[in-house]
Structure 1
Amino acid sequence: MSAWQSKMDQSFVGTYDGQEPNYYGITFPTDLTNGKYNNHIKFDEVTTAVTWSPDGSGESANKVVAIASGKVSKNNFNMALYFFVIQNNQPKVYISRTTNGDDLYFSETQNNDLKSGFANIFNN
């Protein structure tokens, strides 16, 4: 992630570095594990149950193994939130740019470098 964010000229805080990312006042993974976002996570417009599982264990169809948040540009305040997910035993990277409301809306990232990097980690 550190090489990717440097290449993209972005800066992220991630659980993979032992940190607690803060996304517009939402602290991860705490606000995920305490149930605050149960029924408030949407992958591609569909309400999706997710579990926090940094080692990828468990029976959930959507295991969030890492989370990152940060500014998408040094020139503005817009943030992005990434969930690195093992979805039905496949690596997926979802991005949210939700800025308000009770729900977090995610779509699969279109960044091929990020997707392939996570897939490489998952497969090794």
Structure 2
Amino acid sequence: MKWNSEKKFRLAEFMSAWGKEMNQNYSQYDPTHNVDFYGLSLPFSVLNDNTAWKAAINNQPIDLRWSETGEGERDYLLVDVYSDFGTKNTFENHVYFFVLYTGRPLVLYTGQNQGNTNHYLHLKETENNELKNAFARIVG
């Protein structure tokens, strides 16, 4: 099992400490507890085929699926989501998607603050090495 409650707890501890370092306050989200990100319910709105919105990388839609275990039949398995959107209302909010991409840890980020005609939520790999490395260590 690539993801479990212990790893989820370790990520929560890391995000709390890292958020303080970054002078940001992060909350955890999942498909039943979404962050309202400029009117888009994340992660629910971009999972599976829930709505017209799609997660996209490099302007290409991806098939993003929620996974409690980090295992599944898809390439992009979302295991956790963190955002500071609920703690500040600026146009500099962050949403991090913690993904296992073909089994490898990948931290995707969006700061998108407006819609687009494709209805894509544009994601890219975070440039923050501390965050990437922490998630990789937690996944193991």
TM bucket, shorter chain: 0.7 to 0.9
- TM-score normalized by the length of structure 1: 0.82
The unaligned stretches of length 5 or more in structure 2 are: 1-14
2:9 paired with 1:21: no
Shift of 1:55: 2.1
Could you tell me how far 1:45 is from its partner in structure 2?
2.3
Report how far residue 6 of structure 1 moved.
0.8
Structure with more helix by fraction = 2
What is the identity percentage for the equivalent residue pairs of Structure 1 and Structure 2? 31
**TM-score relative to the length of structure 2:** 0.74
Q: Does the 8 Å contact 1:95/1:108 carry over to 2?
A: yes
Superposed CA RMSD in Å reads 2.4
Q: Aligned partner of 2:21: which letter?
A: K
Query: Counterparts of 1:61-100 in structure 2 under 5 Å?
Result: 61-71=75-85, 76-100=90-114
Q: How many residues align?
A: 120
Q: Which residue of 1 aligns with 2:126?
A: 109
**Correspondence for 1:59 among 45, 51, 73:** 73
Give 1:36's aligned residue: 51
Unaligned runs of 5+ in 1: none
CA distance in 2, matches of 1:24, 1:50: 20
The answer to whether the aligner puts 1:2 opposite 2:16 as a matched pair is: yes
Distance 1:74 1:20, change over 3 A: closer
Q: Tell me if the contact between 2:78 and 2:99 (Cα under 8 Å) persists in the aligned partners.
A: yes
| d(CA) in 2 for partners of 1:84, 1:15 | 11
What is the Cα deviation at residue 85 of structure 1? Answer: 0.4
- Runs of 4+ aligned residues of structure 1 deviating over 6 Å after TM superposition are none
